[in-house]
Structure 1
């Protein structure tokens, strides 16, 4: 389970550190200057919230999963976009990034469904035990589901501790809370490191589904689930990145129903970072790297899957390592340049 959703950026990061915007004529930028923007969500008033993974900080610094030095800081944030203006409404959140601030791990996704507060995940991408060596902020907020409110945030569920104790997929302990979704019983959380789908409820945490490692071209490849969305049938759907070597065309979307193993409902994608459904029940898939994370090409893609299986690429050129997707009022909103410190944007793509 030694995986990071955005760890395999390598030379790709160096190619995209400049500010990036999608270049389609109909695409507009609604927010800019973001630090490694990831998941995003609308509230009931139409305000848009974005999780910024931050740009690391002054340290402590230590070897990252690939050996290069990464540094801890408190540059993670949640940004609100409302009335044409953007502002960071929650700041001082954990962030671990390269020295240049790229490829950060920090706030991963946000759920604005509850009028009483914002729920958001903070990633880690490592054995939960490494938190013991972090400053108090990292110990108390990394690999957690948190709830934001005016004046700060509070702890909701320690996803890292659950991975350490329950270890749903049975591999080496690894946790990276990513996508979060409101549910009747609480909050559903995807743990990309733990290859699991979890339910956070008033009694604690329980496992909804585990996604198994498979063999591709003779290599074991972990699923690395990154995203969860609810379909019109009320089932949960989970998109997967697929782990190293991040083979193109091997990412899938699973359907999860209580008491049943995950069932693949769509495949043939590459490195899925987020999914969503529109009001008609059509599936939208966001690929972080359309040609694969090891290709050196940072171009992503937004793909719609119709009910008959027809696939339409709605946007690709200009989507640079996108980090999250939300649908609202006939348009897709994508966090663009999701590995860029200060160069991240949110773009609006009309769906027609």
Structure 2
């Protein structure tokens, strides 16, 4: 965080703000009908450093997390700069995910640390909680330790027990959902952290190698990829999880190598289900069904009370194109999706304005977004059109 923007609030003020956080319910948002009209401009709320995690609480209060592992409460003020109130920090390197629970509890989950296949670094792949009065965040669950006992049977990279927690949500009953991008699954952690169950597991999908991959990488080294159009299996990479109004769990995919655009799916898991299998070969059977298809490199989801899903893409050309330095691959997208008897309708919001975004939440006619996730960034907000209605459900 740019510390010149940080405001240390009196202890009583911070406690009051956090104590008024709404009890966690579902998703993040407000009602929506048909995506008519246009969204207004994207406005910066405050500067942040490598921001990703975001949970919009309403009334101009938003939880955010940055690349140094810090998490803060941003409080908007009319005609004045927003206050950034530091709350705590966990292991840094890449910004964690963050979500508000009941009674002022804040949950934070860190991603992988160390070399692939090796032991995680201290504080990596861990779920924490924080409340006012804590000296530091407390460990709720060691996600990496659980994944070591629950290997991915569909792993394609020879690391079936690898863990990289990426997405976070809180259920009405206080349980915490964690989307693990390396385990290709979504876990449910009890409030006390003593019980972890696998809610859903995502199977790989066969995709075609996309056209336009460069002949050299950003350092000028030759690249060797199968010819465009070659079908190859690709892992799901579960990056995001959100909760609908009825308790359904929505899961978003990044898509593994070769990250073919348009092959990221959104899955919907039946409320209360455990051990669900999200299978692209049988996408409409069982307790996990494909809710939408055709997305690219999803890194976050938000769901409103009308079950409009907001899917955030790191790059419209794919994360792999971004990594390879393909021109234009830094541009991401936010898409609002609604499902009816006629299928899924989609509308891109803030077209061309999102640069490597990291997180999204929606509340009070407004989408809150973080990014870029690498280097200097910000918390921004996007006013939505008048066809969006009020209402908020935690992710």
Shift of 1:90: 3.5
Q: Aligned Cα RMSD in Å?
A: 2.0
The alpha-carbon distance between structure 1 residues 90 and 323, as it changes in their structure 2 partners (threshold 3 A), is same
TM-score, normalization by structure 1: 0.77
Alignment of 1:323 with 2:352, yes or no, is no
Check the 8 A contact 1:128/1:163 in 2, yes or no: no
Q: Which has the higher strand share?
A: 1
2:189 aligns with one of 196, 200, 203: 200
Counterparts of residues 338-349 of structure 1 (less than 5 Å): 338-340=373-375, 343-349=376-382
Partner of 2:42: 27
For residues 162 and 59 of structure 2, the distance between their equivalents in structure 1, rounded to whole angstroms, comes to 37
2:331 aligns with one of 299, 323, 327: 299
The alpha-carbon distance between structure 1 residues 211 and 315, as it changes in their structure 2 partners (threshold 3 A), is same
For residues 287 and 120 of structure 1, the distance between their equivalents in structure 2, rounded to whole angstroms, comes to 21
TM-score, normalization by structure 2: 0.69
Check the 8 A contact 1:128/1:164 in 2, yes or no: no
> Which segments of structure 1 move beyond 6 Å, counting only runs of 4 or more?
none
For residues 45 and 186 of structure 1, the distance between their equivalents in structure 2, rounded to whole angstroms, comes to 25
For residues 177 and 128 of structure 1, the distance between their equivalents in structure 2, rounded to whole angstroms, comes to 15
| Secondary structure in structure 1 of the residue aligned to 2:241 | strand
For residues 247 and 71 of structure 2, the distance between their equivalents in structure 1, rounded to whole angstroms, comes to 28
Check the 8 A contact 2:244/2:305 in 1, yes or no: no
Check the 8 A contact 2:101/2:174 in 1, yes or no: no
Shift of 1:208: 0.6
Counterparts of residues 1-352 of structure 1 (less than 5 Å): 26-32=41-47, 34-43=48-57, 46-52=60-66, 54=67, 75-84=68-77, 85-96=82-93, 105=94, 107-124=95-112, 127=116, 129-131=118-120, 134=121, 139=122, 141-150=123-132, 151-169=135-153, 171=155, 172=159, 173-183=161-171, 184=173, 186-201=175-190, 202=192, 203-217=194-208, 218-257=231-270, 258-259=273-274, 260-261=276-277, 262-295=288-321, 296=326, 297-308=329-340, 309-340=344-375, 343-352=376-385
For residues 244 and 285 of structure 1, the distance between their equivalents in structure 2, rounded to whole angstroms, comes to 20
For residues 323 and 48 of structure 1, the distance between their equivalents in structure 2, rounded to whole angstroms, comes to 15
Query: Any idea what the Cα deviations from partners look like across 1:33-74, whole Å, max 9, x if unmatched?
Result: x2211120033765201121x2xxxxxxxxxxxxxxxxxxxx
| Secondary structure in structure 2 of the residue aligned to 1:142 | coil
Shift of 1:244: 1.4
Shift of 1:305: 1.3
Shift of 1:168: 4.0
Query: Any idea what the Cα deviations from partners look like across 1:58-102, whole Å, max 9, x if unmatched?
Result: xxxxxxxxxxxxxxxxx3110211133242524442123xxxxxx
Check the 8 A contact 1:90/1:152 in 2, yes or no: no
- Unaligned ranges ≥5, structure 2: 1-38, 209-230, 278-287, 386-395
What is the number of residues matched between the two proteins? 289
